Structures are given as structure tokens and as C-alpha cells.
Chains A and B, each alone.
Chain A
Amino acid sequence: MSFLRFALDLLFPAAGSCLICGRDNVGNGVCRQCHDAVAKKPKLYYCPVCGRYYPFRAAVCKADLICAECVERPPAFFAARSVGPYGDQLKEAIYRYKYGGFRSLSFFLGELLADLFLNEPSFGDTNLLVPVPVSPAKVGIRGFNQSELLACRMASLLSLPVNNCLFRVRHTPSQSKLTGKVRKEILKGAFAMIERLGQVNVVLVDDILTTGATARECARVLLETGVKRVGVITLASGIQEKFDNYGEERRKKK
């Protein structure tokens, strides 16, 4: 009887549910609609340095428009890229992955990151993937480090090594409701290295880049210990709300 059931399951697989929307979906993972919605290429223009999106379309801006913050305070990393702006289905997917505990979503999200990585020429000479560390207290609550799982999935697809060389020196409070300035203050000296990596090109893997404070601090620590170059890859980036002053002036001057 069990063999019969197995054979039937094999031929007519039972409908599972989509990990994001919960609708019936044959096979594991994510349904077609959610896949398309999450992997949709954003049409918004983004800062070529920090990767954060402007609230206007790419067609509006033809020149490389670096955001005001990156001009005033250039980050330690050379470039950050993300799959899309933090919103809609991508936000839902990240939320379910990170807070809902659906670790199997790392397979789908890791594939998206690997795809983004391959489409970004400046990441071509990368030697190593480094996930952004999470404090042990958070790991205790959440049960996993979301960036580490993503990096592992990317690594298996890209045949690159992953190194957990970064760690948190102290616990920092959740940053989702803090402003950029406060984040920078809190994160100062929050990370350290376990070992020296030498002259390698590193890509830092994280889930969301909102103000870039975490990525900046991690990149700074990595560069201090002799790393040649640091890039950042994330699932989502924030949308810049204060683009107007600098961006508008610069456009007028042109």
C-alpha cells in the first residue's frame, strides 16, 4: 500500500504550498507568480556606489548620479548591488525568510543573489564571500544567520568559498526603526575579524541594505585587515528619500 502511495506521489506529486503566498503549488518552493514578482528587474535608478534606489525611473537619469551621501562620505566598499528595492513581494519574501523562519527560502533567494552576482561585471574577480555576522543573542531567537545561509547557497552555485571571518564584538539593538546617524554611532566598533584574509577581493553578503551603515562598518573592518577590495551584495536596498537637494542641484548645473 505504501509503495502504491509512493508511486502515485511520484507520478502525481501532491500540491505543496508556495513559501511566499501560501497558494497551492506543485513541487517545493515558490510559485511562478511569486517567483516573477520577486525576481522582477527594478526600473528605478540606483546609486552606482551604495546601490540604494532613487524614487525615479532609470530613464530620467542618463549620467551616473552618485548619491549625496556617497559623495560626502564615500563608503569603504567600492559597490553595492541588490536584487530590488525593499517593497512588495521581495519584502514579503525577506520577511518570511528572516522572521517567519522559512529557511528553505534561502535556496530561492540565494539563486537570485547568484544571478545578480553573475550579472555584475565588477564582482568578476571575487575570491571570497563573507556573510554579515549576527549576534549570538539574535541567532538564539531566530535560530539562524540569514546572511550566512544566503552566502552558502550562493557559494555552492558559484563555486566560491565562504568565510565567517567577521564576528560581532557586542550585541547591537535592532536597527529597523533607527535613523542613519544613530545606526552609525551604534555600529562603531561592533565588528571584528577572527583571522587576516590577506590580499583578496571580498563580497559581503547581507539581506537588506537600508542606510548602508552595517555594510560600511564591515567593509571598513575588512579593509583594515588588508583585504584588497570589498563589494556588497544584498537582496534588497532602501529607497532614498532625500535625493532631492543634491541630485536636483547637480542636474540643474548640468
Chain B
Amino acid sequence: MQLVEYPLTMKDLLCVVYMAKNKDRYRAFMTHNLSMDARILLGECPAATLDILTPSLPVGIAYYILKTIFSPEEVCGCDILGIRTRPRAFGLLRSGASYDELVIRKAGQAVKLLKHIESLMGSGALLPRTGTYPVKYSVGCNPAMVVIPTAAELEETKEALRGRILFVEELSLILNTPFTWTSPKVSSAEAGSNLLNNLQLLALSGDIEILPALGFTAPGEVTCFRCGRKTKLKSSLARLKTGVEQIYHTRCPLCNYPSLYCEQCNSMGESRLCRGLFALGEKVNKPFKYGFPGALRVNGNLRRVGVPPLTPAQSQASKELIDFVHNGEGGNCLLWAVTGAGKTEVVLKAAAAVLEAGGRVLYAIPRRDVVQELAPRLKAALPGFEVSAIYGGSQEKFSRSPLIIATTHQVLRYYRQFDLVILDEVDAYPYRGNEMLHRAVKRAAKPGAHTICLTATPDAQTLAEARRGLIKLITIPARYHGHPVPEPEILRVNPFQTGPHGLEASIFLSDLLQRWSVGERAQVFIFAPTVKLVEKYGPVLKTAVAGWDEGMNTGVLTSHAGDPLRDSKREDFKNGICRIFVTTSIMERGITVKKANVLVLDADYEAVFDEGSLVQMAGRAGRSAEYPGGRVLFMGAHISTAMKKACAQIGFLNDIARRQGYLLNNNGGLR
């Protein structure tokens, strides 16, 4: 076999798969920089060679070949004597001969796989027309020219990557070093400082993992390693599907190979066949079963900084949560609390317990504004710990704080980092039904970590799992002020009628609104199922309330998902500038006003208003201690199952609270 000088120019992560033999051991790996791998694996012996099995390929294909034709032991390094060869007539084989035979066999397997991939991606794209594999690669006559990164550089790279899964460009941002791809023109000193070489060396020693951003996982199947989206290529049946395929063919303008990219997660940087992902998990701590040395201090801290003392219901839940995180086995826990129960305060103690024991905590929230709002609260509640708020465009995106508050999509960048993951609003968009985020959260947690899911409206499947004992269920059935959640009333009436000037509010509706907003001086949420209905009902209601109580502001605000002034209107309503807010279910969460009544129009519109949604909307009423009462009215042409279930759910939790004595009696004491 001839010796070849392999090109090092790589604009993107292109790797070759090779095998290396050193004395009586051999291993297989992939690399973008053969000279460095040769220097590390073969030492300085100029006669030693690597056996190259494939041409330079996008990392997504090289990784697939490596994982398919080699066992994990072969990738880490194993004995030549362990090579399994076919039984031969003469039995005994010399070890050297069997290695060469193995190289030829593996090269044949690699070429076969490549031919199959070529049949999917375009013939002639990957394999060269001339030349055969395997090819020998020699480190050359002066191996000392290859500069190996120093231990300090490697340690720095490792620390930056710890607990994360990142592109090399993102890693270079953390390290504050301008990133350059290796090129044959750069001097050896520059090449030595190249981040990609550091990462390759760390992967070679088994410290980190090199994964493709998107790669083949089975014959004809590609998977995005960041978001988990899978798709089959060119299967004749798959082409009939009109469903959601979010991985597309393209030609990579950087490496000029035919490529694929994933559109599901491309808002976080493009995931394509020739891009590498580098991952390093956090060290796994000992389970917290021996108690926490600082547990008492945690309680003191939380009280001192102004977290209100917990109610009996909250205390009980908090105690159960602390027991849950003390349990060394890990697992999931569902914290089912009524709306306005003060869930955040309850999980704080469990979070503090993990932080005190040296653990790391992730608090994932769907919405960016809630992340921004919660960060200062947690900073104040846990003064001893550094807290980082991570969202798209935040300055702290790559900080290493022990407590991270992040929007759910940012979780995609973490890798086995957290001992405790708290997921707020698990039943809400975007977490509900999103496989990508579920997978991301699982990946962000260390093996054996604890996950707490917070919700006011768990779905049927989660509740069934809790009943079967697969996840632990903790409930907070009462609000922090000790009053029951207002139970909805159901009315089968038509709130609008057609008058001489078109649609107008019925006398019943107009009386009701006048009684609520003028008589009781409450603010009123009016929910309608669709944007069109909000736009239709808004002006009608404006006409209906015109002229009421001149001194008071009884104006009507309308807003929906497509409204650019949505956030400012939300703030206006919160500040009491307007009495009536007509909106879609977009405002069902995260908005608290002191004295609110709730009216749900067309509540039987089941395509939009499911049980959870109705419970959330009903939960807007009676949230403050000053006005714990409140009225909730579901109006519809008929009574839907979701309406019945929502009423039953609220009543059920109120009953539990009553039975457990968490509700105040008439004298202001607990029952």
C-alpha cells in the first residue's frame, strides 16, 4: 500500500475513519487531523502507520460508519488477541496477520455502507472514482513538527465544555478565543492552539464525546442529535407521507458535499451533516441520601430574605419535595398545585437543599418574560448562590452558575449537568407535546437526577402515571391565602343578539358586566376561543359598556396572539387602567390582578378550550388575599365535557383542601 499525504484543509468538520495498531492493541476512531492522531497513537516512530478506511467525510457519515462497523470496545481500544476471525481450517493465526485481515474486512464494510449512503444522497458524492481503501498514513519523517496542545489548554477546554453540548463556535465564545479551522498554511504554534485539535485530543482520551449535529443512525435514517428529529430518506412509502418531515436535503456550501439539515431546531444554529457537536457531562455527585449539612441554614436564608412564611399546605408539599430530592434514586415528581398556590416558593427549599449540597439546579420556564421576572426573585431568596437567567439574547448564556433559570429552548445546550431540574408549566406551550424539549430536558439532567414538574392542570396521561406510581405526586390543594379557588358556574345562554345595528350584547350580559365592573368594582377577564371572535366581540362590548359610570375607567381592551401591543395591554390591565379585557387563551397564564372576575364566552368550543385551559382561566379569579372571592362564569350553547371536567377538577381540589384543613373557617382560622 502506498503512503499518502492527507489534506488537512477542512472548512467544516470532515473526518476520516481509521484504525491504529500499537504493539498488541488496536483501536478505531475518526479524526479531522490525522497527523495529530498518528502522533498520539503511534508515538514518534516514523515507520508506524494508521490505516485509513474511508475518504474524508462529513462527520454525520463518519460517525455512523464508526459506530456501525466497530464495537464500543474497538473504539476505546482492545487487544489484538481478542479479534474474532472466521474459523479456519488450520486454526491458529498469527496476531499481526489477523489485524491486517481485519483492516481489509472493515474497509470493505465501510465502503459498502458508503455505497448505500451514496445511493440515497447522489452517486459519486462520497467515494472517489479512483483509489481503494484501506490506505496507509504515515506520521512522516519529523513527527515533532506536530504540536500537541498543552495540558493547561486541554483542561481549559474541558472546563468550558463541562455539562454542555455545543458547536465549536459556541465553545470558542465561552473561551473568548477567536475560532479558526485548521489549515495547512497555519504555523504549528497556531495549529497547536486550535480548539478543534484540543477537542479531538480530549475525545481520543475518552474525556468528551464528538457527535455529529445531524447524522445517520440506521440504513436510510437520519437523526438530528440535538433535537432528536428522525427521518427516513427516500423510502418509497415515506414519500407518500404528507406529515411533518423537518430534515431537508441541501448542498453544503462550506464543504461542498451533499448535506442534510434540520429545520426543527435551526433557530439555535444550523444542525447539518458536516457539523460537529461536542459534549461533556458533569461529574455525577453522590446521591443526597445522607442529609444536608446546610439544611438548617437554608431555611434561615429563605426566611431572612423575605420569602413569605409558607402556609401549612405549602409547608407539607415543601417537606415532601425535600424528602424527594434526598432520595438517592432520582426520578420524576409532579407538583400539582391549584392556580395561585405559590408553587415557586414551595420548590425554593428543595432547590436550596440541592444547591447547599453542591448540586446544580435548572429552573426551566416556557416564557422569556417570566424568566426575567423570576431571576431577581430567586437571587433575593437565595443570596448565597449565583443565579443566571438564560434566554435568547441574554448576556449570561454561557455562565456557569449553580442555579440556571432558562427558557425551555435554551435547555438544548446542556448535557448531563443538573442534579435537579424544575419544569414550570409542563402542560403549557411549548413543552406540551414537544418531543424535542422533552428529550432536551432529559439530556440536561445527570443520570439519576431529580425532576420536578410544576403544573396546575396535569394531563390525563401524567395523572395516570402518578396513579400507577411511576412518578411521585405531591399536591397543594389550597391557595396561599387559605380561601378556596372560585368554582365556575355554567350557563347555557346566548350572550349576544342581533339588533337593528347588527350584533349587540344581550341584556343579561350587559347587566352582568355592569354589576361586576361598576357594582363590585372588579376587573373582568373575558375569554373568547379565537382571534376572530375576540375581534368580533370586542367592539360589541365596547358599545355595550359606553357611558357606564363616567368617573371610573370602564373601557374595554382587546388583545390576542397577533397583537403587537399585547404586552403593554397586559401591563395596562394589570395596573387597573382598564376594567374589561377581551382576549384569547393567550392570557390564561401569568397575569394576576387583585380583584378579578372571569367570563368565558363560547366555553363549549372544545377545539380550543380543553379542561386545562378552562381551569387556568378560572384560576385568574380570587388570587389576592385582599379579594379571595371572585366569580367565574362559563357560557356556552351547550355544556361540553371539558367544562364539566374543569368544574369537577376545581371542586375536587377544594374538597381535598377542606378535608385536610387547609382552608380558613369563618373566624379566619384553619378548619
- A6-26 CB mask vs B (1 if < 8 Å, else 0) is 100110011111000000001
Known: A104-B248, A140-B254, A144-B253. A9 touches B241 (CB 8 A): yes
Closest to A3 in B: B237
Q: Is A78 an interface residue (CB 8 A)?
A: no
A102 to B267, CA, bound (A): 9
Are B253 and A104 in touch, CB under 8 angstroms? no
Known: A101-B266, A104-B248. A143 touches B253 (CB 8 A): yes
Are A9 and B243 in touch, CB under 8 angstroms? yes
Q: Is B261 an interface residue (CB 8 A)?
A: yes
DSSP class of B's interface residues: helix, strand, loop or mixed? loop
Q: Is B244 an interface residue (CB 8 A)?
A: yes
Are A144 and B250 in touch, CB under 8 angstroms? yes
Known: A103-B248, A140-B254, A143-B261. A27 touches B242 (CB 8 A): yes
Are B261 and A6 in touch, CB under 8 angstroms? no
Closest to B267 in A: A100
A9 to B246, CA, bound (A): 15
- B245-257 CB mask vs A (1 if < 8 Å, else 0) is 1101010111000
Are A10 and B240 in touch, CB under 8 angstroms? yes
Q: Is B263 an interface residue (CB 8 A)?
A: yes
- Chain B residues near A17 (CB, 8 Å)? 244
Closest to A27 in B: B242
In the assembled complex, the CB of A29 is this many whole angstroms from the nearest CB of chain B, namely 10
Are A10 and B266 in touch, CB under 8 angstroms? no
Closest to B247 in A: A104
Q: Is A145 an interface residue (CB 8 A)?
A: yes
In the assembled complex, the CB of A211 is this many whole angstroms from the nearest CB of chain B, namely 27
Count of chain A residues with a beta carbon within 8 Å of a chain B beta carbon:
22
Q: Is A139 an interface residue (CB 8 A)?
A: yes
A140 to B261, CA, bound (A): 15
Are A100 and B241 in touch, CB under 8 angstroms? no
A140 to B242, CA, bound (A): 32
Closest to B240 in A: A10
Are B244 and A28 in touch, CB under 8 angstroms? yes
Are A14 and B243 in touch, CB under 8 angstroms? yes
Are A16 and B253 in touch, CB under 8 angstroms? no
Are B245 and A28 in touch, CB under 8 angstroms? yes
Are A10 and B241 in touch, CB under 8 angstroms? yes
A93 to B80, CA, bound (A): 58
Which residue of the partner chain, among B241, B246, B253, B272, contacts A13 with CB atoms under 8 Å?
B241
- Chain A residues near B254 (CB, 8 Å)? 139-140, 143
A196 to B252, CA, bound (A): 27
- Chain B residues near A27 (CB, 8 Å)? 242-243
A144 to B249, CA, bound (A): 12
In the assembled complex, the CB of B212 is this many whole angstroms from the nearest CB of chain A, namely 16
Are B241 and A101 in touch, CB under 8 angstroms? no
A140 to B237, CA, bound (A): 35
- Chain A residues near B11 (CB, 8 Å)? 140
| Interface set, chain B 210-242, CB cutoff 8 A to A | 237, 240-242
- Chain A residues near B253 (CB, 8 Å)? 136, 139-140, 143-145
In the assembled complex, the CB of B232 is this many whole angstroms from the nearest CB of chain A, namely 10
Q: Is B270 an interface residue (CB 8 A)?
A: yes
Residue among A101, A136, A143 with max Cβ neighbours from chain B (10 Å): A143
Are B242 and A103 in touch, CB under 8 angstroms? no
A240 to B479, CA, bound (A): 59
- Chain B residues near A140 (CB, 8 Å)? 11, 253-254
A114 to B458, CA, bound (A): 49
Which residue of the partner chain, among B240, B244, B250, contacts A103 with CB atoms under 8 Å?
B250
A39 to B237, CA, bound (A): 32
Known: A101-B270, A104-B248. A16 touches B263 (CB 8 A): no
- Chain A residues near B263 (CB, 8 Å)? 101-104
In the assembled complex, the CB of A194 is this many whole angstroms from the nearest CB of chain B, namely 16
- Chain B residues near A9 (CB, 8 Å)? 241, 243
- Chain A residues near B240 (CB, 8 Å)? 10
- Chain A residues near B244 (CB, 8 Å)? 13-17, 28
In the assembled complex, the CB of A4 is this many whole angstroms from the nearest CB of chain B, namely 14
| Interface set, chain A 139-165, CB cutoff 8 A to B | 139-140, 143-145
In the assembled complex, the CB of B574 is this many whole angstroms from the nearest CB of chain A, namely 26
| Interface set, chain A 39-70, CB cutoff 8 A to B | none
Closest to B245 in A: A28
In the assembled complex, the CB of A232 is this many whole angstroms from the nearest CB of chain B, namely 23
- Chain A residues near B245 (CB, 8 Å)? 28
Are B242 and A13 in touch, CB under 8 angstroms? yes
- Chain A residues near B237 (CB, 8 Å)? 6, 10
Are B243 and A103 in touch, CB under 8 angstroms? no
- Chain B residues near A103 (CB, 8 Å)? 248, 250, 261, 263
In the assembled complex, the CB of B601 is this many whole angstroms from the nearest CB of chain A, namely 22
In the assembled complex, the CB of B367 is this many whole angstroms from the nearest CB of chain A, namely 15
Closest to B251 in A: A144
Are A143 and B243 in touch, CB under 8 angstroms? no
Are A100 and B242 in touch, CB under 8 angstroms? no
A26 to B244, CA, bound (A): 8
Are B270 and A143 in touch, CB under 8 angstroms? yes
- Chain B residues near A136 (CB, 8 Å)? 253
- Chain A residues near B242 (CB, 8 Å)? 13, 26-28
Are B266 and A100 in touch, CB under 8 angstroms? yes
Are B241 and A143 in touch, CB under 8 angstroms? no
Closest to A9 in B: B243
- Chain A residues near B241 (CB, 8 Å)? 6, 9-10, 13
- Chain B residues near A13 (CB, 8 Å)? 241-244
- A73-98 CB mask vs B (1 if < 8 Å, else 0) is 00000000000000000000000000
A104 to B250, CA, bound (A): 10
Are B250 and A16 in touch, CB under 8 angstroms? no
In the assembled complex, the CB of B506 is this many whole angstroms from the nearest CB of chain A, namely 31
A145 to B246, CA, bound (A): 20
In the assembled complex, the CB of A84 is this many whole angstroms from the nearest CB of chain B, namely 20
- Chain B residues near A101 (CB, 8 Å)? 261, 263, 266-267, 270
| Interface set, chain B 257-273, CB cutoff 8 A to A | 261, 263, 266-267, 270, 272
A27 to B267, CA, bound (A): 21
In the assembled complex, the CB of B392 is this many whole angstroms from the nearest CB of chain A, namely 13
In the assembled complex, the CB of B244 is this many whole angstroms from the nearest CB of chain A, namely 3
- A115-139 CB mask vs B (1 if < 8 Å, else 0) is 0000000000000000000001001
Are B267 and A143 in touch, CB under 8 angstroms? no
A60 to B245, CA, bound (A): 47
In the assembled complex, the CB of B606 is this many whole angstroms from the nearest CB of chain A, namely 16
In the assembled complex, the CB of B427 is this many whole angstroms from the nearest CB of chain A, namely 17
In the assembled complex, the CB of A153 is this many whole angstroms from the nearest CB of chain B, namely 13
Closest to A101 in B: B266
In the assembled complex, the CB of A178 is this many whole angstroms from the nearest CB of chain B, namely 25
Closest to B244 in A: A16
| Interface set, chain B 269-288, CB cutoff 8 A to A | 270, 272
A28 to B246, CA, bound (A): 9
In the complex, 27 of the A-B residue pairs with CB atoms within 8 angstroms, ordered by the A residue number, are A9-B241, A9-B243, A10-B237, A13-B241, A13-B243, A14-B243, A14-B244, A26-B242, A27-B243, A28-B242, A28-B244, A28-B245, A100-B266, A100-B267, A101-B267, A101-B270, A102-B263, A103-B250, A103-B261, A103-B263, A104-B248, A136-B253, A140-B11, A140-B253, A140-B254, A143-B253, A143-B261
Which B residues contact A (CB, under 8 angstroms)? Answer: 11, 237, 240-246, 248, 250, 252-254, 261, 263, 266-267, 270, 272
Which 8 pairs across A and B sit closest by C-beta, in order of nearness?
Answer: A16-B244, A13-B243, A139-B253, A101-B266, A27-B242, A13-B242, A14-B243, A9-B243
Which A residues contact B (CB, under 8 angstroms)? Answer: 6, 9-10, 13-17, 26-28, 100-104, 136, 139-140, 143-145
10 additional contacts, CB 8 Å, given A13-B241, A144-B253?
A9-B241, A13-B243, A14-B243, A16-B243, A16-B244, A16-B246, A27-B242, A27-B243, A28-B245, A103-B250
